[in-house]
């Protein structure tokens, strides 16, 4: 772990503009970090699809709500060599294996005995050198999977308590050579001194895998806070299809960033209806134990 003092972070993917749900999670990550004396960091998780200029717009939107953070903003694409080095270390330690399975083959394969639902079935775990050579010769580039030595792992979550979830032989490098999210996020958090991870509760089930990998790398897993998401009236994850859900869209309708923050604060029980409060004021009122445990249902007329 880095010798820098403890930190929290917000780590968006710059694939488009942030919507109200993303912004609400960012506000919560800032509140958790700042009210516990932690640094607050921004990391752009841009190993996958990135839209030109989206990162700058995301940072501008976060600043418009009053969030501040420690520089520099880290971009994962600048850290590919570091990820490759970690993967090489795990490979040299016998902690990985090459996997030639397609998604369809994994879905159609019979589950290993006693394996949890949805776990990788172990198809390529014990291939011989000859079998691997044959698949490579056939032109099937392999992904790299961790060779897990447990089927579950327990993490501590500030909202969900002790949470035990599945660990299987998950991918740490895709078959195109791109480091997988589950590896990159663990390596980055360790390097940046992040010991508090606040993010949407749709990612709770991935925490045991990441915490397990952290221990393999000699790191202490962070404390998690998986917060409720913002859903549309159909109780589906919020998206651009739901209309005015980004700061730019809302500004075009005459809704200021101050009003957006006020709505977010009200949804968290940190402000009264119609009250406008800045982030320092919200920090004074912030009590993780009192946070809502259910999603915020955002209705189209919310801003009227």
pLDDT tens profile 247-303: 999 999 999 999 999 999 999 999 999 899 999 999 999 999 999 999 999 987 788
Asked if residue 10 belongs to a known ligand binding site, the reply is: yes
Q: Confidence class of residue 5 from pLDDT cuts 50, 70 and 90?
A: confident
Q: Which of 58, 35, 2, 84 is nearest to 281 (CA)?
A: 35
Residue 115 has pLDDT above 70, yes or no: no
Predicted confidence at residue 244, as pLDDT, reads 79
252 marked among binding-site residues: no
Answer yes or no: is 285 a known binding residue.
no
Residue 233 counted as an annotated binding residue: no
Cis peptide before 72 (omega within 30 of 0): yes
Q: To 5 degrees, how large is the angle CA 78–CA 81–CA 84?
A: 130
Annotated binding residue at 124? yes
13 annotated among ligand-binding-site residues: yes
Is 125 annotated as ligand-binding?
A: no
262 is in an annotated binding site: no
Stronger pLDDT, 2 or 234, i.e. the higher one: 234
72 marked among binding-site residues: no
The answer to whether 38 is a known ligand-binding residue is: no
What are the tens digits of pLDDT across the range 48-64? 989 999 999 999 999 99
How far is Cα 255 from Cα 87, in angstroms, rounded to an integer?
A: 47
Q: Was 75 annotated as part of a binding site?
A: no
- DSSP strands (E only) in the chain: 7-10, 39-44, 70-75, 96-99, 143-146, 152-157, 161-166, 171-173, 194-200, 223-227, 230-231, 296-297
DSSP string, 235-275: S-B--GGGSS-BHHHHHHTT--HHHHHHHHHHHTTSS-TT-
The per-residue pLDDT for 114 is 59
Check whether 14 is labelled as a binding-site residue: no
Going from the C-alpha of 255 to that of each of 19, 231, 244, 261, 263, the distances in angstroms are 14, 20, 10, 11, 11
**Global pTM value:** 0.94
Model confidence pLDDT, tens digit, residues 156-209 = 999 999 999 999 999 999 999 999 999 999 999 999 999 999 999 999 999 999
Q: Is 181 annotated as belonging to a binding site?
A: yes
């Amino acid at each position: 772990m880095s010798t820098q003092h403890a930190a929290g972070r917000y780590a968006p993917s710059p694939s488009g503009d942030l919507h109200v749900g993303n912004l609400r999670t960012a506000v919560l990550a800032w509140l958790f970090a700042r009210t516990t004396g932690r640094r607050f960091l921004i990391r752009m998780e841009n190993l996958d699809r990135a839209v030109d200029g989206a990162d700058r717009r995301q940072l501008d939107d976060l600043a418009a709500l009053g969030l501040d953070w420690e520089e520099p903003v880290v971009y994962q694409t600048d850290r590919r060599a570091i990820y490759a080095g970690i993967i090489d270390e795990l490979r040299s330690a016998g902690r990985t294996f090459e996997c030639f399975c397609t998604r369809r083959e994994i879905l159609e394969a019979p589950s290993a005995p006693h394996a949890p639902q949805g776990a990788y079935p172990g198809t390529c775990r014990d291939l011989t050198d000859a079998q691997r050579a044959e698949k490579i010769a056939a032109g099937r580039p392999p992904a790299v999977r961790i060779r897990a030595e447990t089927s579950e792992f327990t993490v501590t979550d500030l909202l969900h308590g002790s949470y035990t979830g599945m660990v299987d032989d998950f991918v740490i490098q895709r078959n195109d050579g791109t480091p997988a999210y589950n590896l990159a996020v663990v390596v980055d958090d360790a390097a940046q001194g992040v010991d508090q991870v606040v993010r949407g509760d749709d990612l709770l089930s991935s925490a045991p895998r990441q915490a397990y990998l952290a221990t393999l790398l000699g790191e202490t897993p962070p404390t998690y806070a998986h917060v409720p998401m913002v859903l549309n009236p159909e109780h589906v994850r919020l998206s651009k299809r739901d209309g005015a859900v980004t700061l730019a869209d809302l500004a075009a309708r005459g809704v200021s960033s101050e009003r957006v923050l006020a709505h977010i604060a009200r949804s968290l029980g940190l402000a009264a209806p119609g009250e406008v409060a800045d982030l320092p004021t919200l920090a004074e009122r912030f009590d993780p134990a009192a946070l809502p445990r259910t999603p915020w249902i955002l209705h189209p007329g919310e801003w009227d």
